[in-house]
Structure 1
């Protein structure tokens, strides 16, 4: 049985036989013509030199080995079996040295790019809502030399405003070039950088600022006026606010004792001879670089304390999994820089002289919500070669394309599905499909600019269907990774030639991984056919712990007899024969029903999110009940089509509150769950349809689009009681 059978697309039985015959004839002719070059190519290039062999051959190659020989590990990457790798460049053991190394090598190359805003206008929708639309121009670039100058002047200016080395400074800002410039300034002047998500609510921001006792904060004009201004009275230590935008120059209506400065003015202050010549005290590798506040998916955000050496080790491991990384690459930055995945990815790019063009989820593609119709999105203009994404964004791309496939004519749809399945088979054999790529998939590939060669996925598990779609239709490998803020985002990344799904690859060269028995959940390293248990990550990328949370540090962080730090992730994994890790459960997502069955909420959600009718889903189970329920954000187009089929009319809100629609959607979900081979007790028995999408702004998901279960439970408490019969 082909390993791709579950992800192959099905053809309708009434397809034109002549069309099928014509397609197979074209494939046969192409195969005959390309056979000899491919055969010779496979002899010239051995595995590891660009020719990767069949999927069966690739699956046999070890990605990691247990250094103890025992099933629980620890497991290391084969290339780092004797010694973990901790640095990218000789002597560059802190982040300021790493950036100076890059500037010395690539002084005049593009470093940071921002698109020019040509015009903005309000566009009224048919439902009365008003959306802001923009027309954007070309990217304007700062060279590596320019970026270093801007960062040095900002650091000097902050010092002139009283910011002291080893004293915390906060950044509360959207992802943009100024964010990374500010970070490099803080790294160079040894100001520990407190990062806060731009979507955090007021109480969470105030908590982070007060806990870290910051006196200086870097922010944007919008966040200052809409979020920060309202909580200033709750943060009495704050003295200086540095606004990254150019205007205005005066800020009326703010509390006494708080000075507000434009970033450009602070840089001018730092450029003065008397300030620029002041002695700088650079950091040591063991000094704190970042205190990164988590997005708070399980309560109040925690500050993770990360040293320079931690980040250097983490990005060293990540860089090793990206082949041919060089100054010719272009990266598009749009995920939150306060998230460890985005910050690490951008620092990797800087270390290798890549250029980083900035974007946002609202301007990413031509069809994005803020792009005026007929204008180009950021990917079309930038044409990136490297990109990081969370599964939520890739799932959206997948569903949008598949919806358009359904709308194609019979002939177009047939050709697409035949080409898709043909390419799956060729990928399994280790072959490329340039003809299909050019004739069939080039338009889909152009959604991300047409030049993407590596797509890195992190933040949550990626479904098999979405991963296969990205491999086939976007014509680029997807490196699925696993890591946490507590490990600098580093843990594992699948090797780019490994097209297997449901796995996250072997350990990075900077760390090692072992399994710890979790008897209560029934996971042991002695399990057959694969060892299972809680995942523990150890190595120089494991961070210093939580800020002012000593009791929690004692529980979550362990130091072994060799002095190596380990982080207990709370995730359950299994190691497979080739050393690849598979995430199979999470302690906090496991709920025991009244009858004794364990439900993995994350597993249920991952399986059901592939259903076209579902944009997002949160499974919920009460241990005192006998069944699972769910909150569902339905796909608007698919739900309206379903309503039309059963002649159910009404507004979007009316459809989502309709009992009849709930029953119809539940029937579709049940069919999808059975097809995904969920157990009967895992399938939601009742659901609630939620008309509003869950975005970081609603506070129901994190910036990485992870569910905030506590907030979701609070929001839908009345519905939970209804679905559980008032209990």
Structure 2
């Protein structure tokens, strides 16, 4: 029998024996010393209940069942008070950190494209006390330039320390902040600036030159532009009615005694804090109206789900600050005394696109303990690591898979595998090696990717559900909850209930669990959309108790322990010619598990009887398959080759059958896109949600081809 074994299997017999002996000998000490039994009880406990005992809800956390929480620190009921409190407690501790650019160079790729590569220095920090000085001076300078309390001021800028300094300056002086994504198109930004009638705008030199300059003549109310970079900008070619200032010059203006000593008008909880323009996945961006008490309630709920949050934590900030997830995360970190180190998706790791080979990415230098991410980024990490595993030699690959599968079985039972964690040390180092918790939001996270992060990065992943309209707060899974595919119980600041959606076939009488459209209510629910009549907006309503509610358009299923699972989205539903309903989001979520796919958009016309798809293929996997098939050429030629389309379609069908998609849900035709979808292309939002309208217009020719019109 042994003679028939291959060499790798033979070599691994002692490993299997060692793991078995280790598990037997170490389980009982580990079980009791780590409190595994109490963690398992927490994982299995009832986490939320219906306050009326009815299947539709409302459901509340059992940790705050009688009344909803709206404040974590007594009396700190506005954002400026939270910042004052943080400065008082953590004055000389590090607060905001930024890496200096030591050098940059252009690197030409094999395909002729030129990438800018950076070498960055160590993080340079400012303390809470130093940040307060900057906040005071900048706010005072804005007031000296004519910015008035309760009048809006806009920020159109990348995520960086100056963004947070601007925000805290505005919160302190009751200047409502209007936020725009840095990737938003020029016309959308001009629309928002005109809708809010802002006179002052904070931006970066790059965005000013590349995006704003051409549309400034269309924004008549704008009088002052402040750019955050430490350099000079030529004012040639700008409208004479607009004054352009550096942030440093505004701070110097504000530091003058006659300006610094002016009376400050502080906000009250019901004052407007932010008008947050959405990224516009369904058309023209809408400004969500958020008051101080909304944000404080939402953060109170979010922070309760992050155990031990405090001065020992370091948070890496790289998601857009114009997104509610990142904004609330950073304000919470400042409130609790955490360090915030700034980064970007292009400099996050040693392998990131802007990091020069051989130099260090931001995670390696910062070694964060906390990190927020959208599923798209986690999916990329997963596929990159697993791709490298396939390149290992037979013994290494077998060892990795053995450790991975062993730990997977342990995690499914609610346990850990400390011995295996040694093998994942190199993988953990991709994010610095110290991450103790990750928070995922913005879109559903696949079970496979969640398990990968649990196993390889040795940390829990808190999957959250919330919207801009609810200040990013809704639900978050508890650290002890080792289930996958769910978004947890309601936060202590809010409650949710279900509403039947007959057209989609979801009702609160469904078995085994009630299902329906998710409605979220509580003090974190915002006041509506800017310049939209509340009474005519069906998305928001106030109940008989005076509580604000938001109708999310997402469909959820409530499990017996009170945790929520997102199962569908109303806006993604398309009725085919034969009468079948197809949830495009469900199809996409399922097919992202395909190894050949990095991203996918399913599409269907109601006058057709089948689904088609656009796919961004995994370059390494598809190129390897092309080599096997004897297909050579550029990446674009490989993607456009009909044989490669058929191979990807074959793989899609195999995966679809495995996960039991209905026949009519499986795409019949596919178009392969050689270009990835990034926020810069305008085809996805900054949270990497698909912009269906833009994708449809972009691939209109291919849609017609796949539906047989061309």
* SS across alignment from 1:328: coil
Please report how far the alpha carbon of residue 33 of structure 1 lies from its aligned counterpart in structure 2 after TM superposition.
Answer: 3.4
Q: Please identify runs of 4+ aligned residues in structure 1 that moved more than 6 A.
A: none
Asked whether 1:183 is paired with 2:167, we answer: yes
2:479 maps to which of 490, 496, 501: 496
Cα pair 2:93 2:128 within 8 Å, conserved: yes
Q: Residues of 2 paired with 1:174 and 1:59: CA distance?
A: 38
Comparing 246-255 with 68-77, which one deviates more in the overlay?
Answer: 246-255
Q: How does 1:585-600 map to 2 (within 5 A)?
A: 585-600=568-583
2:50 maps to which of 66, 83, 96: 66
Q: Residues of 2 paired with 1:16 and 1:374: CA distance?
A: 33
Q: Residues of 2 paired with 1:303 and 1:507: CA distance?
A: 25
Q: How does 1:604-619 map to 2 (within 5 A)?
A: 604-619=587-602
Per-residue CA distance 1:222-280 (angstroms, 9 max, x = gap): 00000011100010110000010011054222111100000011011111101111000
Q: Residues of 2 paired with 1:36 and 1:665: CA distance?
A: 48
Per-residue CA distance 1:36-87 (angstroms, 9 max, x = gap): 4224436xx486xxx412xxx5553111010010000000011011111111
Please report how far the alpha carbon of residue 14 of structure 1 lies from its aligned counterpart in structure 2 after TM superposition.
Answer: 5.4
Please report how far the alpha carbon of residue 458 of structure 1 lies from its aligned counterpart in structure 2 after TM superposition.
Answer: 0.2
Please report how far the alpha carbon of residue 433 of structure 1 lies from its aligned counterpart in structure 2 after TM superposition.
Answer: 2.0
Give the direction of change, closer, same or farther, for the CA distance of 1:681–1:144 in structure 2 (3 Å limit).
Answer: same
Other-structure match for 2:540: 557
Comparing 281-290 with 658-667, which one deviates more in the overlay?
Answer: 658-667
1:34 maps to which of 7, 26, 40: 26
Please report how far the alpha carbon of residue 164 of structure 1 lies from its aligned counterpart in structure 2 after TM superposition.
Answer: 0.4
Per-residue CA distance 1:637-676 (angstroms, 9 max, x = gap): 1111111111112211111222221111111111111122
Other-structure match for 1:3: none
Cα pair 1:363 1:369 within 8 Å, conserved: yes
Give the direction of change, closer, same or farther, for the CA distance of 1:539–1:14 in structure 2 (3 Å limit).
Answer: farther
Give the direction of change, closer, same or farther, for the CA distance of 1:105–1:58 in structure 2 (3 Å limit).
Answer: closer
Please report how far the alpha carbon of residue 19 of structure 1 lies from its aligned counterpart in structure 2 after TM superposition.
Answer: 3.0
2:346 maps to which of 351, 362, 365: 362
Q: Residues of 2 paired with 1:290 and 1:15: CA distance?
A: 63
Cα pair 1:63 1:77 within 8 Å, conserved: yes
Comparing 299-308 with 490-499, which one deviates more in the overlay?
Answer: 490-499
Asked whether 1:437 is paired with 2:421, we answer: yes
Q: Residues of 1 paired with 2:7 and 2:580: CA distance?
A: 45
Please report how far the alpha carbon of residue 427 of structure 1 lies from its aligned counterpart in structure 2 after TM superposition.
Answer: 1.9
1:264 maps to which of 248, 252, 266: 248
Per-residue CA distance 1:394-427 (angstroms, 9 max, x = gap): 0000000000111111111111111011112222
Asked whether 1:240 is paired with 2:227, we answer: no
Cα pair 1:291 1:547 within 8 Å, conserved: yes
Other-structure match for 2:387: 403
Q: Residues of 1 paired with 2:535 and 2:689: CA distance?
A: 22
Other-structure match for 2:507: 524
Q: How does 1:34-113 map to 2 (within 5 A)?
A: 34-41=26-33, 45=35, 51-53=38-40, 60-113=44-97
Q: CA RMSD in A?
A: 1.3
Per-residue CA distance 1:558-606 (angstroms, 9 max, x = gap): 1000000000000000100010000000000011111111111011111
Please report how far the alpha carbon of residue 620 of structure 1 lies from its aligned counterpart in structure 2 after TM superposition.
Answer: 0.2
Give the direction of change, closer, same or farther, for the CA distance of 1:429–1:384 in structure 2 (3 Å limit).
Answer: same
Q: Residues of 2 paired with 1:258 and 1:448: CA distance?
A: 43
Other-structure match for 2:450: 467
Q: Residues of 2 paired with 1:474 and 1:330: CA distance?
A: 16
Other-structure match for 1:381: 365
Q: Residues of 2 paired with 1:46 and 1:663: CA distance?
A: 49
1:667 maps to which of 646, 650, 670: 650
Q: Residues of 2 paired with 1:129 and 1:574: CA distance?
A: 47
Structure 1: tracts of 5 or more residues without a match:
1-12
2:526 maps to which of 543, 549, 562: 543
* SS across alignment from 2:133: helix
Cα pair 2:572 2:584 within 8 Å, conserved: yes
Q: Residues of 2 paired with 1:379 and 1:511: CA distance?
A: 34
Cα pair 2:92 2:128 within 8 Å, conserved: yes
* SS across alignment from 2:502: coil
Q: Residues of 2 paired with 1:343 and 1:699: CA distance?
A: 22
Please report how far the alpha carbon of residue 35 of structure 1 lies from its aligned counterpart in structure 2 after TM superposition.
Answer: 3.2
Other-structure match for 1:300: 284
* SS across alignment from 2:104: strand
Q: Residues of 2 paired with 1:46 and 1:692: CA distance?
A: 46
Give the direction of change, closer, same or farther, for the CA distance of 1:19–1:284 in structure 2 (3 Å limit).
Answer: same
Per-residue CA distance 1:64-113 (angstroms, 9 max, x = gap): 01001000000001101111111121111000000110110000000000
Asked whether 1:652 is paired with 2:635, we answer: yes
Other-structure match for 1:9: none
Give the direction of change, closer, same or farther, for the CA distance of 1:154–1:381 in structure 2 (3 Å limit).
Answer: same
2:624 maps to which of 626, 641, 645: 641
Give the direction of change, closer, same or farther, for the CA distance of 1:191–1:444 in structure 2 (3 Å limit).
Answer: same
Please report how far the alpha carbon of residue 15 of structure 1 lies from its aligned counterpart in structure 2 after TM superposition.
Answer: 6.7
Q: How does the TM-score come out when normalised to structure 2?
A: 0.98
Other-structure match for 1:510: 493
Cα pair 2:47 2:489 within 8 Å, conserved: yes
Please report how far the alpha carbon of residue 635 of structure 1 lies from its aligned counterpart in structure 2 after TM superposition.
Answer: 1.1
Give the direction of change, closer, same or farther, for the CA distance of 1:393–1:271 in structure 2 (3 Å limit).
Answer: same
Asked whether 1:567 is paired with 2:550, we answer: yes
* SS across alignment from 2:693: helix
Please report how far the alpha carbon of residue 464 of structure 1 lies from its aligned counterpart in structure 2 after TM superposition.
Answer: 0.7
* SS across alignment from 1:526: coil
Other-structure match for 2:559: 576
Q: How does the TM-score come out when normalised to structure 1?
A: 0.96
Q: Residues of 2 paired with 1:107 and 1:484: CA distance?
A: 33
Comparing 570-579 with 427-436, which one deviates more in the overlay?
Answer: 427-436
Cα pair 1:546 1:552 within 8 Å, conserved: no
Q: Residues of 2 paired with 1:363 and 1:22: CA distance?
A: 42
Other-structure match for 2:295: 311
2:681 maps to which of 679, 695, 698: 698
Q: Residues of 2 paired with 1:164 and 1:315: CA distance?
A: 27
Other-structure match for 1:16: 8
Q: Residues of 2 paired with 1:553 and 1:162: CA distance?
A: 35
Per-residue CA distance 1:262-312 (angstroms, 9 max, x = gap): 001101111110111100010000000000000000000000000000000
Structure 2: tracts of 5 or more residues without a match:
none
Q: How does 1:152-171 map to 2 (within 5 A)?
A: 152-171=136-155
Kindly tell me the number of residue pairs found equivalent between the two proteins.
706
Give the direction of change, closer, same or farther, for the CA distance of 1:151–1:649 in structure 2 (3 Å limit).
Answer: same
Other-structure match for 2:694: 711
